[in-house]
Structure 1
Amino acid sequence: MAFESNGTGIARLLGQEGAGTLLGIALRIEDGLPVSTLDHLRRQVGDRVFDRAIPHATARRLRRRGGRLSATTGERLYRLAVVYLHAMRIYRDDASAAGDFLLAPHMMLRDMVPIDVAVGGSSGRDAVLEVLDGLEQSLSA
């Protein structure tokens, strides 16, 4: 499955195909994504990446509570989706290689784990995207 790192690809990864655009996704996050987004995203990115970004106990608690996710949790899932899609593009849809990158400490991130940096905030997400862009340039050279 080829992943698109745009609004459509992000919406698909989050199970929000009807959102379509980045604005549509932002509005859905603000309104509260359904709790089912957790399981949908887990199936898409795999257990090891998802569990690092959203601890198992947290996901279990959110599922039990039901309803809609907070905007803070929705933003965390969004950042996970963005960096995962970008890594999948760089690693040519190789989920194992993308996961390995996201879960291994990286020297360009002061030996921090990329997924930890990315889900922590938008500036962290941007730092990981910058490292991925650098990898892409070195791979294409």
Structure 2
Amino acid sequence: MAITLTTNTAADLYLPDECWERVFKFLTDDDHYLLKDDYDNRGILNCISLVSKEFLSIINRIQFSLTLNTLAVSERIFRRFTNLTSLNLSCYNSDLNVLLHEISRFPLNLTSLNLSYQPIIPADGLRVLSQNITTLNTLK
């Protein structure tokens, strides 16, 4: 009786990106009973993105909403997350006019923008944003 040992190559373990996207979306689905109120979905995605450059790329594509609350926002964020549809700036602590000008330079398909709890309405930034991003239909 002969026993044959085989080794798996990277090609043997390959899954298409679409399959990984479905797995990651399933893991972060709010209706999924294992993750409901027990984990922070963004924390899960951050951990997964550390595994490999391929996973980081996939996570970047399936990230549709983002909350910005720090002064250290750079244009790299908008280059990284090209599929953003929702931005929450309710806790952003710097000049919103400058940030909205920066956001308007990227080809985003934003449909929702949250500016709640801000002490002023950034009229100039909103004007520029509305000229360049025409997909916005919810402004809070």
Q: What range is the shorter-chain TM-score in?
A: under 0.3
Compute the TM-score of the two structures, normalised by the length of structure 2: 0.21
Q: Which has the higher contact order (CA 8 A, sep 6+)?
A: 1
Q: Determine which structure has the larger strand proportion and give its number.
A: 2
Compute the TM-score of the two structures, normalised by the length of structure 1: 0.21
Q: Determine which structure has the larger helix proportion and give its number.
A: 1
Structure number with larger C-alpha Rg: 2
